[in-house]
Chain A
Amino acid sequence: MDAPPLFEEDTMKESNMPQADFLMSILLIVFGITVLFVSIGMPRFEEMDVNPYSVPGVVPGFLGAIIAVLGFVLLIRSIIRKGYKLNITGRTMKEWIRDDSTSRFLLTIGLCVFYALVLIGLVPYAVGTVLFIFAFILVFEYRRGIPLREQKRMFLGATLVSVLSGVSIWVLFRYLFLVNLP
């Protein structure tokens, strides 16, 4: 009996994994060691006569050391798997950019981050949310090359969904949960 992975998700191509591990492990080692040194530099409150084992730096220092060690194990493993050969060439980049899933992925991130960090501060919450949902549906349902008139149903659907859901989320939080939305 073989158990399937707990999280079903598409992962990076297996062949790229050692390279990703190699970069990540260096990041982890640097991070762990930095945390360790910052922790050592934390106050000891000696003038207040506190127990030396109760000072704030003990546990983060311990964690920093462990993260660095785990990073080191990952580094060795990725080196054994030849992860230091980073083959970022023009061709692989081009393939990545032209991949359909990459554009969907970048569009999702772009729309979401713009909505959450920019739009909400700019316009009232309800308006921003309706606009965001409308734009999201539009971006992913718009078909290039088909005249706008034939896509009327899609526009209508997007408007309906975005207004209904945006307003109901807003009403729900504003009046039921009494959250003062921005």
Chain B
Amino acid sequence: MLEGLQLFGQSFIGFMSLGILFNVLWATQLGIIVGMLPGLTATMGVALMTTLTFRMPASEAVLILVCMYVGAIYGGSRSAILLNIPGTPANAATAVDGYPLAKQGRAGRAIGIATTGSFIGTFIGMIILALFTPLIGKFALEFKSFEFFWLSIFGIVICGNLTAPKDPLKGWIAGFLGLFVAMIGMEGIHAHIRFARPGSELSGGIALLPAMVGAFGFAEIISVMKLSAYEVVKTKIERVVPKFVEIWVHKWTIIRSGIVGTFIGAIPGVGEDIAAWVSYDMAKRSSKTPEKFGKGSIEGLIAAEAGNNACVAGAMIPVLSLAIPGSAPAAVLLAAMFIHGVRPGPLIMIEFPSFVYEVVVMVLLASAAMLILGLSMVRWLVKVLVVPRQKLMPIIFALCVVGAFAIQGRVFDIGVMIAFGLIGYFLREMDYPMAPLILGIILGDILDKNLRRALILSDGGLAPFFNQPIGLVLFFVTLLVILSKMKWFNDLMGLLKNAILSPFKRNKGA
């Protein structure tokens, strides 16, 4: 604990330079703009920013990405309040009460409250992040090859499950296709080149970043251009900075939403939007005035925003400790860490002990910047909403191209970006989510080496895959996730429940 505090202090001092604080401000501001604009998601923003920060030292680059992420999730509340269009899916719950407030002419107040709620939510999440992530270090050495194998399978299954709630089968297919993509190129034990001609461009493998920029950037550009245009509503903005009393009366709602949001974020594969809905729902249930919810309730607005922003910090917990992202933007953030040579996972407290605390400081800086920027410059920023997409999208695409190219200076990577954008677009049209595909590319190497290592250790036996406690838990959770999506399994569970709860009734029925 004391050591943790010391590492936290060191990281904090390490980030206290003018250049870095300047980076924090512009990255958060850019994140807010990305979050505000419908069509630009937090995922796309983080993916593009990864290419822009590729040449920076790891900690500075990740700091900018965290600012982008926090800013974008918060920024989405703007368009949710002003346009009734959530800037990112995470802000859908914000729109429910934020837009009615704006229609009542209280847009400024709503923005101020949403900003403060977001800040306190992130802050609570940050504290939990700092306390819980190092705990995983205690289990680090329990993670051996068998556990890493199950961890990568578990990551794919749960990510596929939750990013494709309507049809998880497609999420899993996308995940396994991603794992396959990682197999292309030189393999990590014998240096054999798989699925490519030696010497060809493909033999170097498919780089993560161009694939990611294609799947989240180009594919999204196509989707946005296909949709019909949205209308901009004119609103007047009055006082933004909220009164202290307004926040204080809702202190329990904020704290509860912050804690709930963080823990939902920490569940691998559950995103910010679910966190927002759950904390909104809980606030409504415990509210003294539930009838106001949906008609401009301050309490509902603050619950939704505290919830989805706390989730950002919560999502860092599985990213750092298990290398399993809690949401699509977190998946991209994880990818960026890998690109910068930081390997999150159970061994992070051994291999990169100070990194966890650096991330805590990053979240703190980002949320502070968010509070400052969110309460100032409101009137000016609203103008961004009127930028039409046909002016914005070609610029974004030019950034996609140059970003894909910049990393290794290979024209081949532009082709990879285009290919993943087109394939990604068509897969998305058919309801295949992209996050598990990208996660698959990240986890493919871990799966490859650990499965083979595990088989060497067990001499091809399968028993050790199932007789270690952590591996067994991961296996059962994976199995349960898959089974819970099967109709017959749920029917069976329903029957069992009936059988246990009301045997008498059943007997009578029979």
Q: Which A residues are in CB contact (< 8 Å) with B187?
A: 56
* Known pairs A56-B190, A136-B393; A10 contacts B226 (CB<8 A): yes
Nearest opposing residue in chain B for A38, CB measure: B195
Shortest CB–CB separation between residue A101 and chain B, in angstroms? 5
Q: By the criterion CB–CB under 8 Å, are B409 and A180 in contact?
A: yes
B414 touching A120, Cβ below 8 Å: yes
Which B36-76 residues sit within 8 Å CB-CB of chain A? 52, 54-55
Q: What are the 7 A-B residue pairs with the smallest beta carbon separation, nearest first?
A: A136-B394, A140-B390, A53-B455, A56-B192, A108-B225, A133-B394, A105-B226
Q: Any chain A CB within 8 A of the CB of B227?
A: yes
Contact yes or no, A108 B89, CB < 8 A: no
Which of A107, A113, A136 has its CB near the most chain B CB atoms (within 10 A)?
Answer: A136
> 0/1 per residue, A49-71, Cβ < 8 Å to B?
01111111011101110110011
CB interface residues, A 121-166, toward B, < 8 Å: 121, 125, 129, 132-133, 136-137, 140-141, 157, 161-162, 165-166
CB pair A56–B194 under 8 Å, yes or no, is yes
Asked whether, in the complex, the Cβ of B55 is within 8 Å of the Cβ of A178, the reply is: yes
Cβ–Cβ contact A109 & B222, under 8 A:
yes
- Asked whether, in the complex, the Cβ of B395 is within 8 Å of the Cβ of A70, the reply is no
A residues within 8 A CB of B183? 59-60, 63
Q: How many residues of B contact A (CB 8 A)?
A: 76
Are the C-beta atoms of B451 and A58 separated by less than 8 Å?
yes
Q: Which residues B373-409 have CB closer than 8 A to chain A?
A: 388, 390-391, 393-395, 397-399, 401-402, 405-406, 409
Interface residues of B in 324-338 (CB under 8 A from A): 327-328
Chain A residues, Cβ within 8 Å of B274: 3
A53 to B162, CA, bound (A): 33
Write the B60-102 contact mask toward A (1 if CB under 8 angstroms, else 0): 0000000000000000000000000010010010000000000
**In the complex, how many angstroms separate the beta carbon of A32 from the nearest chain B beta carbon?**
9
Question: Is the pair B429, A113 in contact by a Cβ cutoff of 8 Å?
Answer: no
Beta-carbon contact of B189 and A70 below 8 Å: no
Report chain B residues within 8 Å CB of A77: 169
Q: What is the bound-complex CA distance between A11 and B429, given in angstroms?
A: 5
On whether the beta carbons of A108 and B173 are closer than 8 Å, the reply is no
Q: Are A7 and B180 touching (Cβ within 8 A)?
A: no
Q: List 8 A-B contacts (CB under 8 A).
A: A74-B169, A74-B173, A77-B169, A112-B421, A133-B395, A136-B393, A136-B397, A140-B225
The CA-CA distance from A56 to B459 in the complex, in Å, is 16
C-alpha gap A132/B394 in the complex (Å): 7
B456 at the interface (CB under 8 A from A): yes
**Is B166 among interface residues, defined by CB-CB distance under 8 A?**
yes
Cα A89 to Cα B430 in complex, Å, equals 20
Complex formed: what's the CA distance from A28 to B432 in Å? 13
Report the nearest B residue to A16, measured CB to CB.
B430
Bitwise interface map of B from 418 to 429 toward A, beta carbon under 8 Å scored 1, else 0 = 100110000011
Task: Determine if A63 and B176 form an interchain contact, defined as CB atoms under 8 angstroms apart.
Answer: yes
Query: Which B residues between 195 and 213 are near A, CB-CB below 8 angstroms?
Result: 195
Nearest A-chain residue to B460, judged by Cβ: A53
Contact of B227 among A101, A136, A177 (CB under 8 A): A101
Asked if B397 and A112 sit within 8 Å, CB to CB, the answer is: yes
Chain A proximity mask over B441-456: 1 for CB below 8 Å, otherwise 0 = 0000001100111011
Residue in A9, A63, A100 whose beta carbon sits within 8 Å of that of B180 in the complex: A63
B391 in contact with A161 (CB, 8 Å) = yes
Are B422 and A109 in contact (CB-based, < 8 A)? yes
Contact in complex: A67, B173 (CB < 8 Å): yes
- Whether A10 and B223, one on each chain, are in contact in the complex, defined by CB atoms closer than 8 angstroms, is yes
Inter-chain CA distance A174–B273, complex, in Å, is 38
Closest CB in chain A relative to B325 CB, distance in Å: 12
- Least Cβ distance of B225 to chain A in Å? 4
A43–B192 touching, CB < 8 Å: yes
Query: Would you call A169 an interface residue if the criterion is a C-beta within 8 Å of the partner chain's C-beta atoms?
Result: yes
Is B92 a contact of A4 with CB atoms below 8 Å? yes
Q: Is the CB of A59 within 8 A of B451?
A: yes
Interfacial chain B residues near A136, Cβ < 8 Å:
390, 393-394, 397
